[in-house]
Structure 1
Amino acid sequence: MSIFDHVSLKTTRLEETQGFYEAALAALGINKRFYVEREEGGVAGFGRERVELFIGGVQGPEPTPVHVAFRAKNREEVEEFHAAALTAGGTDNGAPGIRPKYHENYYAAFVIDPAGNNVEAVFQGPA
């Protein structure tokens, strides 16, 4: 179980960023569960069984980028996430593979989303 109830990312490029997450997270079984328009900008909610990620639009300069990692069920999901994220407009920040500096079974891929965030999919079990 996650230690977080939810995470909220903000962007001035909501439409593009929302589309990126819709495509990239589908590979991990995470889907857009809602979208609402608000005065300050729209908000999209993503999750598997419940909403755990919010992508919200903001006015002004692009917020400071963050790093967020999504748990994959296996190495294949990590690879599917990476491919889908690149197709959806992400920039490669680390192809799927073992990251031995973390531990021997840390299999991850990294992509920069349209808002500049470092997005990771990771599977930490044996192959």
Structure 2
Amino acid sequence: MSIFDHLSLRTTRLEEMQRFYEAALAPLGIDRKFLVDRPDGGVAGFGRDRVEFFLGAVQGTEPTPAHIAFRANDREEVSAFYAAALAAGGTDNGAPGIRPKYHEAYYAAFVIDPAGNNVEAVFQGPA
């Protein structure tokens, strides 16, 4: 179960961001549920069972980058996310591994998306 109802990122590059997230989130079992074209540029919705993550188009300058962490079911999903995100155009911001500064079972990987957001996949359980 998610700890949030939904999360939205705004971007001036909706098509590019949509392609990135479709590829990067697939290993986590998260897929695009819809894409709606609107006069303001559109919105894409992603989720597992329901839509919890939105990408919305904005005009003007790219919004301030954010940090978002997606829950993985195991360490293998974290590694698969990392590989898929890099292949989709993301930039390395921390290879899969234990992050002891958080706790001894915090296994995560970090990638910068095309708009500059720090995107993480994390599994917080035993190996």
Q: TM-score with structure 1 length normalisation?
A: 0.98
Measure, in 1, the Cα distance between the counterparts of 2:3 and 2:73: 18
Counterpart in 2 of 1:61?
61
How many pairs does the alignment contain? 127
Please give the secondary structure, in 1, of the residue aligned with 2:28. Answer: coil
Structure 2, unaligned stretches of length 5 or more?
none
Amino acid at match of 2:68: V
Deviation at residue 54 of structure 1 after TM alignment: 0.3
Amino acid at match of 1:117: N
Amino acid at match of 1:35: L
Amino acid at match of 1:52: E
Matched, 1:35 2:56: no
Amino acid at match of 2:10: K
Please give the secondary structure, in 2, of the residue aligned with 1:70. Answer: strand
Measure, in 2, the Cα distance between the counterparts of 1:71 and 1:4: 11
Deviation at residue 3 of structure 1 after TM alignment: 2.9
Counterpart in 1 of 2:121?
121
Amino acid at match of 1:73: N
Counterpart in 2 of 1:89?
89
Deviation at residue 42 of structure 1 after TM alignment: 1.2
Deviation at residue 41 of structure 1 after TM alignment: 1.0
Measure, in 2, the Cα distance between the counterparts of 1:86 and 1:99: 20
Measure, in 1, the Cα distance between the counterparts of 2:74 and 2:2: 17
Amino acid at match of 1:32: R
Matched, 1:4 2:19: no
Q: TM-score with structure 2 length normalisation?
A: 0.98
Structure 1, unaligned stretches of length 5 or more?
none
Percentage identity across paired residues of the two chains: 80
Deviation at residue 4 of structure 1 after TM alignment: 1.2
Measure, in 2, the Cα distance between the counterparts of 1:49 and 1:14: 23
Deviation at residue 124 of structure 1 after TM alignment: 0.3
Root-mean-square deviation (Å) = 0.6
Matched, 1:106 2:106: yes
Moved segments of 4+, more than 6 Å = none
Amino acid at match of 1:45: G
